[in-house]
Structure 1
Amino acid sequence: MVTVGQFVPATVSAAPTGATIVAERVQSPREIDLSVKSRSMRTTVPVKVIPARGGAAAPTLYLLNGAAGGEGGSSWFDRTDIRTFFADENVNVVVPMGGAASYFTDWYRPDPKLGVQKWATFLTDELPAVIDRRFDGTGRNAIAGISMAGTSVFQLSLHAPRLYRALGSFSGCAQTSDPMGQAVVRMVVEGRGGGNTLNMWGPPSDPAWQANDPYLHVDEFRGKSIYVSNGSGSPGRYDTIDGPGIDGSGSKLFDQIAVGAVIETATAECTRNLQQRMRERGVPATFHLYGGGTHAWPYWQDELHRAWPQFRAALRS
């Protein structure tokens, strides 16, 4: 019998794809930490799971962290209420850790700073089979992400068109190949992560930039349940000295307003462009563009709450 806090080596959870659960730690009956050995990534990836309530077969919701990859306390588990919010839901909630500044895509070559990046292969070909075997998954999946990962969810759907029934993008920029989109990608990969986009998708003229541009491929999302949201960038109800995550810190508040406002204003333009593009192409999607709100976790928690009924319905159909 596995007890809370016990670290258990796993030797029988291999999936046909080559990924393997090599160990797991039970943090609580409703929170399990996995160590998943990935053949494509050539490393072991930490993955946190909230198992579905009831023990029966259940669908899976993948939640991707942003540009920090969940490091430094910047993850769905650290910054939101997903433990309690999903406590009574019949869904496996899976949060892969790592992938800072990677766009969760397959890179052309290893990067001197960021290493081997084969996230699209890991997340679509390897991890789902492992999760379904270990947690009795039904094969019905949804995926949502914030900031950088708000772009990645669409790219992963392009990579594996049949894998996800629902997509959620919170404060992401779904353009990657035009000058503005390329500038955003470089800002994340090079400015924040210290990587080199030449190792990712090659020079700006390389076809990979367009192949990974959700804005250019909106027709391929037809038939999926899509929820996209973004704040305006102006200070909102959580941008206060006593707001969640601020906790009386003037420097944190300044950073959230000054930096977070700039980023959210930029992603708002991307989101409006995507909304217009989907309207023109007749691709159904739910857009929630709210006034007030910077690039911050409290707003993304709210958006997950708003999106979940739509995701739940898609996973049941």
Structure 2
Amino acid sequence: MLALLPAFAAPVAHADPGQGAYITDIQHVNDRWDKVSVYSPAMNTVIVNDVFKAPRSGAPTFYLLPGIDGGNDLDPGGTIPPGGKAWFGMTDIQGFFANKNVNVVSPLGGAFSWWTDWVADGSKQYQTYMTRELPPLINKEYHANGKNGVGGLSSTGGTAIDYAIQAPGVFKAVGSYSGFPSVSDPDEAQNISLTLSGGGQSAEAMWGPLGGPVWVQHDPSKNAPRLKGVAVYAAASESGGVGDVDRLPPGFGPNIAGGFIERIVADSTKRFADAAAAAGVPIHYVIRPEGSHTWGLFESEMQESWNTRSDRRSAPSVTRLAKRRSVRRLW
């Protein structure tokens, strides 16, 4: 479970300093919100990161990955400005975290990259960026304490969990919000391949032959034992049906595409939860009755993960939320 405050109370390893990464620019949107540009030597490019500053120094840092669009509006005729279809533009980050002593950091870009390291494309080395290059810079610039959590939505939900597997000790709390935490079985790999092809990308360029060794290496459901000691939260809606949580306009309709995707990620999330249970690794697994892969759902899951207490000594827990039930605060 992504119980950030309890998890941050324990000692944690710091990310290794990035080799040559540095901040190129900081733009102040307001007194708490910065846009921080960082040069990534791994990718030889600059990445812009939204940062909501903690009110006091010595705070932990909560990283939030963008979705498949990298924070840009890819819809034909879309009106959302570049970088606006992301956590800081689509959810109330400033309101929810206003009274919480935590730095919230959300990188932008990386559309159709899965925010991972690609085996055949040096321009896509996002795991390296997130686990080695960015955290040391955030720690220094914002006087953070080096204790990190990370969450991802949809395509990056499984990636967030995978970071804890690939870079042990960097992230002590991880969250998958309607994500893909099971990726290497044939049907799963095919779904990911189709998703990436929609952006003109090859899944084999990402992790090699579909379902091959690199896919297994990045599959949280196949590496659940390596998550012992990590607070893990994973949630999805089992029905994919539209509900109040989606915050869609009146008369929007059934959201057929979103519901279809949500049912796919719900199946992937269940496979991961079953694997964690079989391995005896405690996670917080939430089965929602409604939600159709919308920003309303992602935001609700993110806030719920923050409000969920970690007890990494207990057996895996499963929560079935009743309709319109308020989020449980367990810490």
Task: Name the counterpart of 1:83.
Answer: 94
Task: Name the counterpart of 1:301.
Answer: 299
Q: Please, which of 49, 52, 55 is the counterpart of residue 50 of structure 1?
A: 52
Q: Please, which of 235, 238, 241 is the counterpart of residue 244 of structure 2?
A: 238
Deviation of 1:16 after TM superposition, in Å, equals 5.0
Deviation of 1:23 after TM superposition, in Å, equals 0.6
1:183-198, aligned counterparts within 5 Å?
183-191=190-198, 193-198=199-204
Work out whether residues 155 and 213 of structure 1, in 8 Å CA contact, stay in contact via their aligned partners in 2.
yes
Paired residue secondary structure (2:205): helix
Q: Please, which of 8, 28, 31 is the counterpart of residue 30 of structure 2?
A: 28
Task: Name the counterpart of 1:3.
Answer: none
1:162-311, aligned counterparts within 5 Å?
162-191=169-198, 193-204=199-210, 206-238=212-244, 244=247, 246-247=248-249, 253-254=252-253, 257-310=255-308
Using the alignment, how far apart are the partners of 1:313 and 1:270 within structure 2? Answer: 24
Deviation of 1:66 after TM superposition, in Å, equals 1.0
Deviation of 1:261 after TM superposition, in Å, equals 0.4
Paired residue secondary structure (2:20): coil
Q: Tell me the TM-score normalized by structure 1.
A: 0.85
Q: Report the AA paired with residue 309 of structure 1.
A: N
Paired residue secondary structure (1:299): helix
Task: Name the counterpart of 1:156.
Answer: 163
Using the alignment, how far apart are the partners of 1:134 and 1:260 within structure 2? Answer: 38
1:31-83 superposed Cα distances (whole Å, 9 cap, x missing partner):
000111110011100101001012x2111000011111111232111111111
Using the alignment, how far apart are the partners of 1:133 and 1:287 within structure 2? Answer: 34
Correspondence 1:98 to 2:104? no
Paired residue secondary structure (1:126): helix
Deviation of 1:312 after TM superposition, in Å, equals 8.9
1:113-167 superposed Cα distances (whole Å, 9 cap, x missing partner):
xx71000111101000110010111110000111001111122112211101101
Using the alignment, how far apart are the partners of 2:282 and 2:109 within structure 1? Answer: 32
Q: Tell me the TM-score normalized by structure 2.
A: 0.82
Deviation of 1:304 after TM superposition, in Å, equals 1.4
Q: Residues 87, 312 of structure 1: CA spacing in aligned structure 2 closer, same or farther, 3 A cutoff? A: farther
Deviation of 1:277 after TM superposition, in Å, equals 1.4
Q: Please, which of 131, 151, 167 is the counterpart of residue 124 of structure 1?
A: 131
Q: Residues 224, 312 of structure 1: CA spacing in aligned structure 2 closer, same or farther, 3 A cutoff? A: closer
Deviation of 1:310 after TM superposition, in Å, equals 3.3
Using the alignment, how far apart are the partners of 1:257 and 1:275 within structure 2? Answer: 26
Identity of matched residues, %: 32
Using the alignment, how far apart are the partners of 2:150 and 2:215 within structure 1? Answer: 22
Task: Name the counterpart of 2:19.
Answer: 17
Correspondence 1:108 to 2:106? no
Q: Which ranges in structure 2 are unaligned for 5 or more consecutive residues?
A: 1-16, 74-83, 313-331
Q: Which ranges in structure 1 are unaligned for 5 or more consecutive residues?
A: 1-14
| Runs of 4+ that moved beyond 3 A | 310-314
Using the alignment, how far apart are the partners of 2:171 and 2:192 within structure 1? Answer: 24
Work out whether residues 17 and 129 of structure 1, in 8 Å CA contact, stay in contact via their aligned partners in 2.
no
Aligned residue pairs total 286
Paired residue secondary structure (2:50): strand
Work out whether residues 103 and 151 of structure 1, in 8 Å CA contact, stay in contact via their aligned partners in 2.
no
Using the alignment, how far apart are the partners of 1:275 and 1:194 within structure 2? Answer: 31
Work out whether residues 107 and 118 of structure 1, in 8 Å CA contact, stay in contact via their aligned partners in 2.
yes
Q: Between Structure 1 and Structure 2, which shows a larger proportion of helix residues?
A: 1
Using the alignment, how far apart are the partners of 2:112 and 2:281 within structure 1? Answer: 29
Work out whether residues 225 and 310 of structure 1, in 8 Å CA contact, stay in contact via their aligned partners in 2.
no
Task: Name the counterpart of 1:4.
Answer: none
Paired residue secondary structure (1:301): helix
Give the RMSD, CA atoms, in angstroms.
1.9
